[in-house]
Structure 1
Amino acid sequence: MDKLQEYADVILTSGVNLKKGQKLNIACSYGSYGFARLLGERAYDQGAGFVNIEIRDNYLARARAANQEGAQLEYFPLFSQVQSAQCVSEEWAYISIDNTDESHVLKDADADKIQTMTKTSRKGRDILLTSLMKDKIPWNIVAFPNETWAKEVLGDDATAEELWKVLKPILRLDQNDPVAAWREHSETLRRRCRKLEEMKIDSLRFTDGDGTDLYLGIPKGSKWEGGGALLPDGRAFMPNIPTEEVFTTPDRLRTEGFVKVRKPLQVLETRVEGAWFRFKAGKVVEFGAEVGEEILGKFLAIDEGATMLGEIALVDGSSKIAESGKLFGSILFDENASSHMALGFGFPGSVPGGDAMTEDELRDAGCNTSMVHIDFMIGWEKTNVTAMDKSGKEITIMKDGTFVI
């Protein structure tokens, strides 16, 4: 089978677990439209009820930011709000192809305007984003190898085909049965989650001997997630391909200490490098960055929740992504090479009874709420993670970036 068809089938089967008659929305850039079309064709082959392709264009976003002001940037069309509501009410599946071919386009755009546009879009699509985060409908984020991304990862002379060779083992497309390989990997991550839940962790501490000393509280009865999620009808799906993480939602008010970010990332479509944060009583009270400090400040100012943690994820240093030694410039891949934290909204499913809670109830239970969610990679080969239970008993979970439980 052609590698693109095989990849598409993994996304539709292991990713969103598309059922016969289900409708599907695919968000992509202009450069990945061909692959989005292939996904749609394969979806129809599998009995999809309807397929819609939605193009996101950073070039248009840049032009808008350059030419519009104030209230113009706060406009969000009613038809997009209706579309979001319809996707939720009809339980569409949702696939997003990471915009790796246009990641550089907004780097010089006005930070204030990008912030306004991001907030407006988040508000307009709130009903959809809330349903995705509560796993009410199946969703999946993937990336598509292209020439621009290949050059960013492998060098100026690299081709998309060369990038494919790097990604095949990461995506488990080098296996005889990739779908079965993802099923087996999913169960490995689920077993790790069960082990962490059995420990009844009250707090975690991250240290690395190079400045990071971060304490995070974990709400009582928190669920650890990884290897996929379950829909209300019991079907399993996998929000990210690839995925190597196990994660939970920390107590939004119990983060203390200092942490360095170990990998560059995109914040509001702008590259940020060498970031660091200092937390007190759950909030970022100081921050900095070698590159992109201004845009980082704009992100933190979006709402109060942007200054607080919504996720902590543990990733073993032996993952195929980590073993590649590559910086992919895609949060989808880079977050799965390194333990990470996320500023912004937490996952209601991690909180006992969280899927049925209001936002106020979630905050009272310790789960952060926000319009945004961005992962920051804080783990590396020197990272140690210690868990503590209510009695103060300490257990080493990770040593030098590797699980020891």
Structure 2
Amino acid sequence: MDPKLIAAYADLIIEKGINLQKGKNVLILTGPGTYYFARELSKSAYRKGATFVQVLLDDLDVLASRLAAQEEDQLTFNPAYMKALDYEMCTEGWSYIRIDATEERLDHAELDQTKNQILGKAKRRFHEARSKKLMRSQLAWCVCCAPGPLWAKQVLGPQATIDDLMDVLKPILLLDTKDPGLAWEEKKEMLDR
């Protein structure tokens, strides 16, 4: 995988995806298969002036274990520190990036759908204040994908590599231009017209 290309992609997410302002904090949610990209986003955010970057891991295999082991009433528990993090995000204007779990969805233990719905409902209720701010665009946020070997094989066939997938994504993400940020600005202006 071309480290310069991945760094350029991370810079694009930080500059255009969340428009990071100097002195702001960033929360990044990622799965194990895309942690490498969360690390690259963190480095980019610090280069662009972030005060603090927090990376949280969302592991579907761990979730499957929780769903299998716990009773339904246990699934509504969310730790208080997460509410404190939500409060700080909302009051301090943190930016939020979620790296889609493309890799994990292709290779994880089976999830109990009934229990997953109970847990999901409890999480939505628990994070309601943060979610409202995100949906009203009162906090900068972006959802992105990062190429991984499983996704490459699913899209391009069993012999495909991350580099092959990145070759497909490069023109879509405008990473094949001299200045991807400027290319996105021009594309936005064209779409606005």
The residue that corresponds to 2:34 in the other structure is: 32
The residue that corresponds to 1:158 in the other structure is: 160
Consecutive aligned runs of 4 or more in structure 1 exceeding 6 Å deviation: none
**How much does 1:66 deviate?**
1.0
The residue that corresponds to 2:143 in the other structure is: 141
The residue that corresponds to 2:101 in the other structure is: 99
Residue identity matched to 1:57: D
Give the SS at the match of 1:95: strand
**How much does 1:188 deviate?**
2.2
Contact 2:147 2:166 in 1 (8 A): yes
Cα distance in 1 for partners of 2:165, 2:96 equals 25
Alpha carbons of 1:46 and 1:174: their partners in 2 closer, same or farther (altered >3 Å)? same
Whose helix fraction is larger, Structure 1's or Structure 2's?
2
Contact 2:106 2:150 in 1 (8 A): no
Deviations 1:108-155 (A, max 9, x none): 322111111111111111111110000101101111001011111111
The residue that corresponds to 1:3 in the other structure is: 5
Contact 2:153 2:161 in 1 (8 A): yes
The RMSD of aligned alpha carbons is: 1.4
Match of 1:124 among 123, 126, 131: 126
Q: Kindly, what percent of the aligned residue pairs are identical?
A: 38
With CA pairs under 8 Å and 6+ residues apart, which has the higher RCO, 1 or 2?
Answer: 2
The residue that corresponds to 2:53 in the other structure is: 51
Cα distance in 2 for partners of 1:189, 1:105 equals 37
* Matches for 1:4-403 after TM superposition, within 5 Å: 4-105=6-107, 108-191=110-193
Give the SS at the match of 2:152: helix
Whose strand fraction is larger, Structure 1's or Structure 2's?
1
TM-score scaled to structure 2, two decimals?
0.95
Q: Which runs of 5+ in 2 are unaligned?
A: none
Contact 1:62 1:105 in 2 (8 A): no
Give the SS at the match of 1:27: strand
TM-score scaled to structure 1, two decimals?
0.46
Contact 1:58 1:102 in 2 (8 A): yes
Deviations 1:365-388 (A, max 9, x none): xxxxxxxxxxxxxxxxxxxxxxxx
